[in-house]
Structures are given as C-alpha cells and as structure tokens.
Amino acid sequence: MTECSFCDGDTCARARYFVLTEALDTGEHRWNKTTVGVHERTGKLETRYVCGYVRNYPRDAEATFEPFTQDGHDYALVSRDYMNIEVLDLETGEFIGREAYLDDPELSDREVYARHFCPVDILVPCPIVLRGGHRGEDGKWVLDGTETSYGGDGTWGLVAGCVWGDDFGWKLQYLDLSELPMVRRDDRFGVVEIEVPLTDHVDIDRIGAGILDVTEVKHARFTRETGERR
C-alpha cells in the first residue's frame, strides 16, 4: 500500500484512493482538458475503479482530487471546473454537492463570479495517531496501549489557489465541510501566500490530547477555528 503524504499511514482515504489522468486535446487555440479516472487500492495489487470525470483545465487534476473520510464514509473534494470545488461520494462514484455560494439564490451571476477561487491544491487533514508508552530500562520504547489522535476529522480542509487574474501568487483559504454535501469556503486567515503542495507547507499542532487548534503556514501561525493570527 502507498503511504499518505500527510499522516504517513497506509489505511486513510488519502492513501487508499488515487487518480490516473490523461490529457484531452480540445483543438487549436483552446485549453486542453484532463480526463480523470478514480481508483481505490483494495489490496497489495488489487484496485477498484470508482468513476471518471473530465476537468476543464490542463493542469492540477491530481492535486485537486482530495479523498477524506467523515463519519466512516469516504468522500473526495474535486475540481472539475477550475473555478470551484465539488464533493464526490467515493462509495457510489456520484457527485453530490459543491460550494454553497454557487446555489445561493440571492446572488447575481456577477456576484457568483466575484466569489470564485481557482484551486490548485486541496488538503483535508486526516487523523494522526500517537501511541503512548515509556522508555524501558534497556532504553527501548515500550508501548502501553494508549493512543491519542490529532490532525483532522474530515469536517474541515484547506485550499490553495487564486482569484482568476490576480498576481499569480497562491493564497490559502479555509473549507468548512461540517455540512456535507455543502462546502463553505472563507478567507478567515486574511491574505496569506503559500507554496504547494500543502502537505509540505502546513503543520497541525497538538495541544493536550487530540485538540486541533493551530495551522502553521511558513512562519505564520493561525487559530484554525477563528483565523486569528497567533
């Protein structure tokens, strides 16, 4: 099995699901698209085909496919349209939701466009389990059977991207996944530039036993729930 680049485990959704992509030629003077096939690793050599879709942009198809688990069910955040995020049910292969602002009846077409954010990388942190223990008389670590967990629980995520036509630097925004299949995105951190992949540039701190509270971006720290700079 392949290890997750966030938790280093091999059983989380980020380790089990993957995509295979292929460029789709759309003709001269047009952006190419990308065909995407979603697969699940079910054994050392076995895989299950989940579904396929087309992304209307020639890049970032792998980085904008982000599998995660919430309440025991597997989902993925996906960017078929390069300007927004959708929710894919990985157990049925069906798209079931998208960003909330797209379906807000009080917004005009101009206002909907003004709220777009083009994702280039998405991260839904998975749980990280620490196994407790103590140092034995021989200096070796002895497990005591206790575990603490921190990281994510599938109810929130992060996205790096930009507003179309800005200064081309990637910015960080927050994803509220607590009301699936609806996704709510906000800029609670303010204007924060970040590099990708997010797994290399975001750390989740642990305070006490499994309390999530800080997102670290380069040398800046933020309280996740409020976006307050620490």
The tens digit of pLDDT for each residue in 67-101 reads: 999 999 999 999 999 999 999 999 999 999 999 99
The total number of structural domains that make up the chain? 1
Higher per-residue pLDDT: 56 or 191:
56
Is residue 54 included in any domain, yes or no? Answer: yes
Is residue 98 included in any domain, yes or no? Answer: yes
Rounded to an integer, the average pLDDT of 106-125 is 95
Range of the domain at 144: 13-223
pLDDT of 155 higher than 90: yes
Is residue 150 included in any domain, yes or no? Answer: yes
Write down the pLDDT at residue 212.
40
Of 7-16, 72-81, 131-140, 199-208, minimum mean pLDDT range: 199-208
Is residue 230 included in any domain, yes or no? Answer: no
Q: What is the mean pLDDT of the chain?
A: 88
Per-residue three-class SS string for the chain: CCCCCCCCCCCCHHHHEEEEEEEECCCCCCCCEEEEEEEEECCCCCEEEEEEEEECCCCCCCCCEEEEEECCEEEEEECCCCCCCEEEECCCCEEEEEEHHHHCCCCCHHHHHHCCCEEEEEECCCEEEEEEEEECCCCCEEEEEEEEEEECCCCEEEEEEECCCCCCCCEEEEEECCCCCCEEEECCCCCCECCCCHHHCEEEEEECCCEEEEEEECCEEEECCCCCEC
Is residue 166 included in any domain, yes or no? Answer: yes
Is residue 1 included in any domain, yes or no? Answer: no
Write down the pLDDT at residue 215.
60
**Amino acid, single-letter form, for residue 62:** E
Residues 124 and 214: their CA atoms lie apart, in Å, by: 15
pTM of the model: 0.89
Write down the pLDDT at residue 221.
79
pLDDT of 208 higher than 60: no
Half-sphere exposure of 202 (CA within 13 A, CB side): 34
Write down the pLDDT at residue 85.
98
